[in-house]
Amino acid sequence: MSYLFYPGCSLHGTAWDFNESTRQVIKALDLQMPEIKDWICCGATPAHQTDPLLSLALPAKNLVAAKDSTVAVCCAACYSRLKTANHHIANEPETRKQVADVVGTDYDGRTEVRHLLEILVKEVGLAKISAAVKNPLLGLKVVCYYGCLLARPPQVTNFDDPENPMLMDRLLRAAGAEVIDFPLKTECCGAGYGITDVKLVKRLSGQILAMAKETGADCVVTACPLCQMNLDLRQSAIEKDNETNYGLPVFFFTQLLGMALGVSKSALGLKALVVSPNELFAARGMGA
């Protein structure tokens, strides 16, 4: 199977560990996923808050560059923007024309966009992944946190059940982890407000961390660079505000899957995690 990869700005910056662990996972599973040549920013939240046409034109430029390949995405926000652009361009002839006018190329909105979780679970398949697991994550208790934009709105992303997505749960189970039911798996972490309104992020992310702790999980697994940053980087400040201690490592799903597939920890960017997982690994016999 071959795909073109759209990493997005975060995976080339703050979430470099998501990028490196993704490369390791796709290598271990014999997938081909070169980057789209000269990809540019999708515009993220600032574009759709500022100008509706810009918010469709930037994703369209990348999707035109991908031509007929299926585009693979890891960042939930990029995924949402690319899918939203496709949704409007494919269904609204007037939109298609306006986007073509500003981008300079007519684009039909039909280039396939998939999140890596969809590719792994729906296309590669759990049977193949289970067979490739060398070090099952036995005894590791995880909660899967999907955030907002993978499953919502369902008519745009068509990812999984919008209230109770299971793709990541099933993947981590195939990797041998004990996946605990998580009631807040699609609640908002505060998204991009970390810079402009940190109080909001601390309150929303705090609720997610408190619930994760309540379930008895060892750690939180995420599929979005912004969710991961809010839960990990802001965790100590949230602990201080709430006068408590969560001590929950917050992984990208590719980091734990990579470990299960036998990739060395140093190649999975675990050093980038702010809440260190070392103690947890030692306690679960997942050392070396």
Partner 1 sequence: MTLQVKNADIAGDFATNVEQLSGSRLLSCLQCKKCSAGCPVAGRADIKAHELVRLTQLGQADEVLSSRMIWECTSCQTCATRCPQQVSVAALVDTLRVLSRQQQKTSEQTTLPVFNDFFLKSALKHGRVYEVGLMAAYKLRTLRLTEDMEKLPMMLTKRKLRLFPTNVPGAAERKRLWKRVQAAGGKRP
DSSP string, the chain: -B-EEE--TGGGTTTHHHHHHHHHHHHHTT-B-PBPTT-----HHHHHHH-HHHHHHHHHHHHHHTTTSPEEE--HHHHHHHHHHHHHHHH-HHHHHHHHHHHSS---S-S-EEEHHHIIIIIIIHHHHHHH-SS--TT-EEEEE--STTTSSHHHH--S-SSS--HHHHHHHHTT-EEPP-TTTTS---TTHHHH-HHHHHHHHHHHHHHHHHTT-SEEEES-HHHHHHHHHTHHHHHHHHT------EEEHHHHHHHHTT--GGGGTGGG-SS--HHHHHHTT---
CB-CB contact of 201 with 189 (8 Å): yes
Q: What's the token pair of residue 202?
A: 């601390």
The residue range among 112-120, 138-146, 168-176, 271-279 that interacts with partner 1, by the rule CB under 8 A, is: 271-279
Rounded to the nearest whole angstrom, what is the least distance from the CB of residue 104 to partner 1 in the complex? 8
Rounded to the nearest whole angstrom, what is the least distance from the CB of residue 16 to partner 1 in the complex? 6
> Per rule CB under 8 A, is residue 210 in the interface with partner 1?
no
The residue range among 25-33, 131-139, 245-253, 268-276 that interacts with partner 1, by the rule CB under 8 A, is: 268-276
Q: Which of residues 63-102 bind partner 1 (CB under 8 A)?
A: 88, 92, 94-95, 97-99, 101-102
Rounded to the nearest whole angstrom, what is the least distance from the CB of residue 169 to partner 1 in the complex? 19
Q: Is 275 left (phi over 0), alpha (psi -120 to 50) or beta?
A: beta
Using the minimum distance from each CB to partner 1, give the nearer residue, 166 or 274. Answer: 274
Rounded to the nearest whole angstrom, what is the least distance from the CB of residue 36 to partner 1 in the complex? 11
Rounded to the nearest whole angstrom, what is the least distance from the CB of residue 45 to partner 1 in the complex? 6
Rounded to the nearest whole angstrom, what is the least distance from the CB of residue 94 to partner 1 in the complex? 6
Q: Which of residues 156-195 bind partner 1 (CB under 8 A)?
A: 162, 186-188, 190-193, 195
Rounded to the nearest whole angstrom, what is the least distance from the CB of residue 49 to partner 1 in the complex? 5
The residue range among 32-40, 130-138, 239-247, 255-263 that interacts with partner 1, by the rule CB under 8 A, is: 32-40
> Per rule CB under 8 A, is residue 38 in the interface with partner 1?
yes
| Candidate list 27, 29, 35, 41; residue touching partner 1; CB under 8 A | 41
Q: Which residues bind partner 1 (CB under 8 A)?
A: 9, 12-14, 16, 38-41, 43-54, 56-58, 61, 88, 92, 94-95, 97-99, 101-104, 148-149, 152-154, 162, 186-188, 190-193, 195-198, 200, 204, 233, 271-272, 274
